[in-house]
Amino acid sequence: MSYKVYQLKIDRSVYDYVNEVGHSKAAEVYPEYKISMDVRFEGSEKWESWMFNHFGLVCEIDAQDLEDVFHIGNMGPEEKIVRHDRMHSVSVGDIIEDENGVFHMVDSVGFSQVEVA
């Protein structure tokens, strides 16, 4: 089965701003940075559907299930990954879309179904 992986897109200039003013102030100015702070630490508990507007499709992974997507997105094999953009390993806060169009967030433990806008 083919799964789509979406990751939060944050421009390098945002990280430069974080280095200048700190995490909290940067989160007040850049919603994508606030999202990063929320979902990367607390996963789906902080999720709101509008946040998906700051995510982009990074790859498609041929896998058996969500756990397999996580494994392949971290360990390979590379031939099961079709890359569409720069990506980091699949981790907490990433969104996986299954073949039925259902979206799941990677949580600290497991996955949670989420709604997207």
Place of tokens 């896998």: 63
3-class secondary structure, 28: helix
Q: How many domains are there within the chain?
A: 1
Query: What domain range is 98 assigned to?
Result: 2-114
H-only helix segments in 1-117: 12-21, 23-29, 31-42, 66-75
- What is the reported pLDDT for 40? 86
Query: To which H or E segment does residue 52 belong?
Result: none
User: Residue 101 CB: number of other CB atoms within 10 A?
Assistant: 8
The CB-based long-range contact list for 111-116 (8 Å cut-off, 24+ gap) reads 111/66, 112/43, 112/44, 112/47, 114/44, 114/47, 114/49, 115/49, 116/49, 116/52
pTM above 0.85, yes or no: yes
pLDDT tens digits for the chain (117 residues)?
999 999 999 999 999 999 999 999 999 999 999 999 999 888 899 999 999 999 999 999 999 999 999 999 999 999 999 999 999 999 999 999 999 999 999 999 999 999 998
- What is the reported pLDDT for 66? 98
Query: To which H or E segment does residue 95 belong?
Result: strand 95-97
